[in-house]
Amino acid sequence: MIKLAPSILASNLMHIEDEIRIFESMNVPYIHIDIMDGLFVNNFSFGTSAVKNIRKITDLVLDVHLMTYDPIKHIPAFCKCGADIVSFHLEATSKPDKAIDCIKEHGKKACITLKPTTEAEAVFPYLDRLDQVLIMGVMPGFGGQDLIVGTIDKIKKLRRYIKEHGYNIDIEIDGGVKESNIRRVLKAGANVIVAGSYIYKDYNIEENINRIYSVFKEFE
Ligand code: DX5
Ligand code: ZN
């Protein structure tokens, strides 16, 4: 099933509740929330209080993308404040198994994220325990960048391996996704589509989501 995950990194925070009501009214299933520590990536974004407050006003799936070093230290707090899916970067820890354990112990869905510079093969040993793999289409840290070309082949390789081994895992693509390249990422095998700047473009949220939905329809 193809799912849309708007990234609220591009939100106008003064109107976040109205934006979330639009997502709900359009049956958008996920909200993608970026967490940055200023070290793993050169930027800051949201923390636990944002997740907690968003959790209070919606039942949508909160897809929390940790861009932090030492994710094991932070995972419990994000699970407790309302995340449904927790993604951590494979590049950010030497103990990915422990990080997965920690997410699962809290009853949440576990996802490993790969930077554009990390090969698809790096996540293969963990697939039997994952619910989702997040493939970054840009270097993490900032919205509004262009999709890196090699991303498509990486998604293809991962989807092929997942199929061959009979796993049931979502492949999420994050960064640089827009109407003009969604067909390619879907064709390659991604099924969870994060979009930030495209969805918020000109603040025409409904129109932009409808454009994305019309591409999704071609794949139903
Ligand atoms: C970047 C973030 C993305 C970002 C995507 O590090 O992980 O979620 O919001 O933004 P766009 O869709 O503008 O590339
Ligand atoms: Zn993200």
CA of 147 to the centre of ligand 2 (A): 13
Q: How many whole angstroms from 68 Cα to the centroid of ligand 2?
A: 12
Angle at 174 between CA 162 and CA 8, to 5 degrees: 135
Say how many CA atoms lie within 13 Å of 101 toward its Cβ: 6
Token pair for 90:
């494979």
Please give all residues whose beta carbon lies within 6 A of any atom in ligand 1, as ranges. Answer: 7, 9-10, 32, 34, 65, 138, 140-145, 174-177, 194-198
The predicted structure's pLDDT at residue 12? 97
Rg, Å, the chain Cα set: 16
Number of domains forming the structure of the chain: 1
In this predicted model, what pLDDT tens digit does every residue of 15-72 receive, in sequence order? 999 999 999 999 999 999 999 999 999 999 999 999 999 999 999 999 999 999 999 9
The alpha carbon of 143 and the centre of ligand 1 are apart by a number of angstroms equal to 4
CATH number, domain containing residue 113: 3.20.20.70
pLDDT value for 71: 98
Choice from 44, 135, 197 to test ligand 1 binding pocket (greatest atom count within 8 A of CB)? 197
* pLDDT per residue as tens digits for the range 64-111: 999 999 999 999 999 999 999 999 999 999 999 999 999 999 999 999
CA 176 to ligand 1 centroid distance, Å: 7
What does the DSSP assignment read for 17-32? HHHHHHHHHTT--EEE
To test the pocket of ligand 1, the residue of 34, 115, 208 to mutate (highest count of ligand atoms within 8 Å of its CB) is 34
Q: Enter the pTM of the model.
A: 0.98
Average pLDDT over residues 177-185: 97
Q: Which residues contact 214 (CB under 8 A, 6 or more apart)?
A: none
Q: What strands lie across the sheet with 192-195, from one edge to the other?
A: 3-6, 192-195, 170-174, 132-136, 109-114, 85-89, 61-67, 30-36
Q: Check residue 114 and give its pLDDT.
A: 99
Show which residues are catalytic: 34, 174
User: Which domain range does residue 152 map to?
Assistant: 3-217
